Amino acid sequence: MQAEIITIGDELLIGQVIDTNSAFIAKQLNKIGISVYQITSIQDHKSHILKALKEAENNADIIILTGGLGPTKDDITKKTIAEYFNDTLVLNTAVLQNIETIWKQYVRQKLLQVNKDQALIPSKATVLMNKLGTAPGMWLEKQEKTIISLPGVPFEMKAIITNHVIPKLKDKYKCPYILHKTLLIHGLGESTLAARIEPWEDALPKHIKLAYLPSLNKMRLRLSTKGFEKEKIETEIQEQISKVLPLIKKEFYGYEDEDGNEEAFLGNQLTKIGKTLAIAESCTGGKLTEMFTANPGASKYLKGGVVTYSTQSKIDILNISENLINTHSVVSQQVAEAMAQNALKLYKSDYAIATTGNAGPTKGDSNAQVGTVFIAIATKNTVYTKEFNFGNHRTRVINKAVNQALQMLQEEILKN
């Protein structure tokens, strides 16, 4: 079973908006055994939408469109779909009622004709009700093909995918089970890893696909396969993992969770063992703390974080002694460890992470080379630091430091 995703909107093609919808949809389709053949981003033009629909029909059984369903004049997806199906728009009273409810609850302004017009739906479409917005999803069929049109606003689209599209697709198609398993590996480059595991890779059965995903000081190695017997597939992947693990014993440090979210995985581990975390950030500027708090349930293990970006704030807020800073410099092992230890005390946590470094592009309050980062981990019993040079690209320095800090925390937790 193959799907194609078409995202509609000039904002995508001028680079003003990054298309995050496709990745979400692709992930959900994969979970029920539907592969995505292609993702196509196109303009808000009738002829372009018609052309994309026609081409997608040649490649895929299921076509999912997002975008172009708003109330304004630049949104033309609905009219175009009606034309594609040789159909007319008719008023759907359930949708109109939903629009009126949302308007009353959230907007509290006069309901305009353009909003009412969002209840006009191609007569051949089944409505996928959008409880979170005024543009409904639509489900249409053409011989054995299914064409689904969804609003482009990510949280509305996500709710319709989860509540309507996935259950309906599962109903309609008998789908194979798709399994991806991703190993996290640090300390090995792509080609060194490939050379190390070459005999294993060459012996992999043809139906198991392997992918190398390098990303900022870590490698992700993804095994994928699909079939109709879930248990058999899971056993087979597990067997292959058992064979490769001895080859990367020192460098393997965990699996990626289903959503590729390392910090959520770590947060769950902390919650399970009933331990808490505090974070003191300098060069990573709050990113570590933000990554943890982006996940629900963070309050169960995260006491908080402090971003002591200026040297003075390290003294004032984290009680780092001025003398220590003057002796060793603000970017040093000693300051990193003091930051971690004092964060542990301040927040009364079980673990603390601290980062201090120079992300560039220019030198800050220290003479440390751009890219130098010290990362410290403190617990009640221990404190230690690793020193890195992450190069001279600001965003990469920050992201590599964050990755490395997560790895160090994971290793520390695994010690228990």
Q: Which of residues 185-244 bind a second copy (CB under 8 A)?
A: 189-192, 194-195, 201, 209-214, 222, 224
> Cβ 204 to a second copy, closest distance in Å?
10
Handedness of CA 29, 31, 34, 39 (dihedral sign): positive
Which residue in 173, 177, 200, 309 binds a second copy (CB under 8 A)? 309
For position 369 contacting a second copy by CB under 8 A, the verdict is no
Which residue in 43, 261, 321, 329 binds a second copy (CB under 8 A)? 43
For position 378 contacting a second copy by CB under 8 A, the verdict is no
Distance CA 396, CA 159 (A): 33
Complex with a second copy: residue 42 or 81, whichever CB lies closer = 42
* Beta bridge partner(s), residue 150: 66
> Cβ 75 to a second copy, closest distance in Å?
8
Distance CA 129, CA 30 (A): 23
> In sequence order, what are the residues at sequence separation of 6 or more whose Cβ sits closer than 8 angstroms to the Cβ of residue 28?
161, 162, 165, 166
> Cβ 81 to a second copy, closest distance in Å?
19
Complex with a second copy: residue 86 or 184, whichever CB lies closer = 184
> Cβ 184 to a second copy, closest distance in Å?
13
Number of residues this chain uses to bind a second copy (CB under 8 A): 101
> Cβ 97 to a second copy, closest distance in Å?
18
Distance CA 230, CA 31 (A): 12
What's 368-390 look like in SS3? CCCCEEEEEEEECCCEEEEEEEC
The answer to whether the CB of 279 falls within 8 A of the CB of 323 is: no
Complex with a second copy: residue 57 or 365, whichever CB lies closer = 365
> Cβ 33 to a second copy, closest distance in Å?
12
For position 400 contacting a second copy by CB under 8 A, the verdict is no
Which residue in 60, 66, 69, 70 binds a second copy (CB under 8 A)? 70
> In sequence order, what are the residues at sequence separation of 6 or more whose Cβ sits closer than 8 angstroms to the Cβ of residue 167?
none
Helix ranges (H only) for 280-331 are 287-293, 311-316, 322-328
> Cβ 229 to a second copy, closest distance in Å?
20
Neighbours of 275 (CB within 10 A): 15
Closest CA to 137 of 156, 155, 154: 156
Kindly write out the interface string for residues 96-125 of this chain, putting x where it contacts a second copy by CB under 8 A and - elsewhere. -----------x-x--x-xx----------
Range 257-286, binding a second copy (CB under 8 A): 260, 279, 284-286
Range 122-141, binding a second copy (CB under 8 A): none
Q: What torsion do the CA atoms of 327, 332, 338, 341 make, to the nearest 10 degrees?
A: -170
Complex with a second copy: residue 102 or 384, whichever CB lies closer = 102
For position 94 contacting a second copy by CB under 8 A, the verdict is no
> Cβ 118 to a second copy, closest distance in Å?
9
Looking at beta carbons, which pairs linking 171-176 to residues 24 or more positions away fall under 8 Å?
172/146, 173/1, 173/34, 173/61, 173/62, 175/1, 175/32, 175/33, 175/34, 176/1, 176/33, 176/226, 176/227, 176/228
> Cβ 154 to a second copy, closest distance in Å?
9
Which residue in 47, 73, 199, 249 binds a second copy (CB under 8 A)? 73
Range 312-351, binding a second copy (CB under 8 A): 312-313, 316-317, 346-348
For position 53 contacting a second copy by CB under 8 A, the verdict is no
Residue that the structure tokens 């991703």 belong to: 182
Kindly write out the interface string for residues 10-29 of this chain, putting x where it contacts a second copy by CB under 8 A and - elsewhere. xxxxxxxxxxx-xxxxxxx-
The answer to whether the CB of 187 falls within 8 A of the CB of 51 is: no
Complex with a second copy: residue 164 or 314, whichever CB lies closer = 314
Complex with a second copy: residue 299 or 323, whichever CB lies closer = 299
> Cβ 409 to a second copy, closest distance in Å?
16
Distance CA 237, CA 252 (A): 17
